[in-house]
Structure 1
Amino acid sequence: MSSDDIGESTSHNGVIRTPPLAALRCFEMAARLESFSRAADALNLTHGAVSRAVRLIEDDLQVELFERRSRRVFLTDVGRKLAGAVREGFGLVETAVRDIRNTAQAPALVISCEPTLLMRWLIPQLPDFQQRHPDVPVHLVAGGGPVTFGRGYDLAIRRNDFVQAGAIHSVALFRERTGPVCRADKVASFFDCGQAGELPQLQQDAVLLHTRTRPDAWETWARCASRPCEARHSQSFEHFYISLQAAVAGIGVAIGPWQLVRDDLESGILAAPLGFVEDGTTYHLLAPTEIEEPGPQAKLRDWLLAVAR
């Protein structure tokens, strides 16, 4: 046998039937103002509607919630107990609703990031941040060079290879380390392995891959590594990202920053026969002012520092 009266006090599931929420709202307002008339005005109801709502609860609980004296009402002991519980319950509901609305309406954190770093480092790892912080929506924008905040983004990630004007809060993420990289099965085609214990040497006919956005990448690496790079053949590309893709395709040898190629190295797609050296630059997270604790920007900063290790 079944019943449509969910929450009946005699139900086998032990759920206690409570008065209607609308009636409880009328009671709570009357208890707070100690007046049916003022409660009716506050709720945009009639005096009779509030009075009937309170009477409904009293009949249901079989207790008197108010002492009625002339034109005033005063809470009884049980009325005071119920009023405190109802006020606390409505407060919890209101807090939850406010938090949900704030989360749903939270503006996206807009981050400007250098294109190659964006495509090869930030985007592949972003799902981890979203899983850890679903309350922080993120919108990514490709950009490079000096940063001017107030143009639609909140934070920026840049390598400090330019002069940044103006006061900007900066957090160092990681030092740039670069080295020649090529497709793993092409190492013998581009490098002379030499004798045991010696580092390989670039072959004279190795194809060096250059890019317009980092035209001095090979010269900088050769100077920092104290290594020659005198190969006679080269090929140039418009963007740094394309030169790395050309290395993946086996076209030649590119200068690859460790953070940008580490996934391909770990998967065995690329190889770095000569390792990596620091080139004197550092990637930074930039903000217009000091990042507030706690907050969405602080969550992103901490996550970036963790994944940059």
Structure 2
Amino acid sequence: MKTDTLSDKNSQTLSRRLPPLGALRCFEAAARLESFTRAGTALHLTHGAISRAVRALEEDLGTALFERRSHRVFLTAAGAELLHSVTQALDLIENTTRRLRAPILDAPLVLSCEPTLLMRWLIPRLPAFQAAHPEISIQLLAGGGPFAFNQGIDLAIRRNDFPWSDETQAHWLFDEAVGPVCRPDKQTDWSPSPMGLPTLLEHAPRLHSATRPHAWAQWLQGRQLPASQVPQEQVFEHFYFSLQAAVAGLGLAIAPWQLVRDDLAGGLLCAPFGFVADGSAYYLLSAQAISDDSAAGRLLHWLREQAQA
């Protein structure tokens, strides 16, 4: 005999009233990346497919989830509320499946790192780690800013210039310190030291990185120097380009110490004023706690050693 009572676990009155799950995945990517195009790239779908999925979700819910402006999209209040719930649900599913999934033998640790730090600091030191830990394989990815562990990333090295979720485990690596650097043969032209104390001349060309537009102002404030305008300024897309321009003798680049420490040791660059802490720091981020005897734990210990060496 079939029944249709609330006590029957098979009753259709207990079926879940959920929106299309595929559309939720498209919505989460579009909300996180603030772009239907970038969401499509991340999910290997077209812009139109993302747009249609979000539109179907909005029609199912009867409310707008995004404000569409030019090439970007912004969450409405309803969209922000839904994103919070969807993110928590996806994180819960991802963490559970990570625990249940059988471990893959010899699977590499996927480590995401900011591109210039990866190029100028991590990669030159990585052979020493591989020699000390041949049993640990690491796959490197270049990336900066927000990311998601469910995109195949195990660990990430990031500066704390953006918020990460409360569930993310953050392991301190080193505090950031910045200062102007230039070619040694240009020091007397731009920052002479007639009385033993270097002076930043007004005509000294300053090199900026677009990724940290306020780095010069922060350094001047830290040194209690006036933030005056200079006649020669150049802005580069990334730190790497501004540092290469400094090596070429185009000007003084404001630079983090970790990114230029090898050039300073090799005599390619000099730092007339030294470095001052800017209040930020770098962390190794993980989805779960890191035990000392794990591959991630050994990597964390080694990264801290390299940062302080």
> What's the TM-score once normalised by structure 1's chain length?
0.64
Q: What is the DSSP-based 3-state SS (H/G/I as helix, E as strand, rest coil) of the residue aligned with 1:201? A: coil
Q: Is the 8 A contact 1:209 1:252 kept in 2?
A: yes
Deviations 1:107-128 (A, max 9, x none): 1111000111111100110000
What residue is the counterpart of 1:234 in the other structure? 233
| Mapping of residues 240-259 of structure 1, within 5 Å | 240-259=239-258
**Given the superposition, is the C-alpha separation of residues 261 and 225 from structure 1 closer, same or farther in structure 2, using an over 3 Å criterion?**
same
Letter in 2 for 1:306: E
- Identify unmatched segments of 5+ residues in structure 2: 1-103
Whole-Å separation in 2 of the counterparts to 1:293 and 1:212: 37
What residue is the counterpart of 2:263 in the other structure? 264
Deviations 1:165-185 (A, max 9, x none): 341111110000110000111
Shift in Å, 1:259: 1.0
Shift in Å, 1:260: 1.0
Whole-Å separation in 1 of the counterparts to 2:287 and 2:157: 12
Q: What is the DSSP-based 3-state SS (H/G/I as helix, E as strand, rest coil) of the residue aligned with 1:192? A: coil
Q: What is the DSSP-based 3-state SS (H/G/I as helix, E as strand, rest coil) of the residue aligned with 1:279? A: strand
Whole-Å separation in 1 of the counterparts to 2:145 and 2:189: 36
Structure 1, 256-265 or 159-168: larger mean CA deviation: 159-168
Deviations 1:141-200 (A, max 9, x none): 11111232111110000011112234111111000011000011110121132323xx21
Whole-Å separation in 1 of the counterparts to 2:190 and 2:166: 45
| Mapping of residues 125-140 of structure 1, within 5 Å | 125-140=125-140
Shift in Å, 1:293: 3.6
What residue is the counterpart of 2:282 in the other structure? 283
Larger radius of gyration: 1
Percent identity of the aligned residues? Answer: 51
Structure 1 position 157 matched with structure 2 position 165: no
Whole-Å separation in 2 of the counterparts to 1:209 and 1:180: 9
Whole-Å separation in 2 of the counterparts to 1:225 and 1:150: 42
| Mapping of residues 11-30 of structure 1, within 5 Å | none
Q: What is the DSSP-based 3-state SS (H/G/I as helix, E as strand, rest coil) of the residue aligned with 1:259? A: helix
Shift in Å, 1:232: 2.1
Whole-Å separation in 2 of the counterparts to 1:293 and 1:211: 37
What residue is the counterpart of 2:94 in the other structure? none
What residue is the counterpart of 1:203 in the other structure? 201
Letter in 2 for 1:130: Q
Deviations 1:197-254 (A, max 9, x none): xx21111111100111111110111112212353321011111111111111111100
Q: How many residues align?
A: 204
Structure 1 position 222 matched with structure 2 position 223: no
Q: Is the 8 A contact 2:178 2:254 kept in 1?
A: yes
| Mapping of residues 78-227 of structure 1, within 5 Å | 105-196=105-196, 199-227=197-225
> What's the TM-score once normalised by structure 2's chain length?
0.64
- Identify unmatched segments of 5+ residues in structure 1: 1-103
Shift in Å, 1:105: 4.5
What residue is the counterpart of 2:273 in the other structure? 274
| Alignment root-mean-square deviation, CA | 1.4
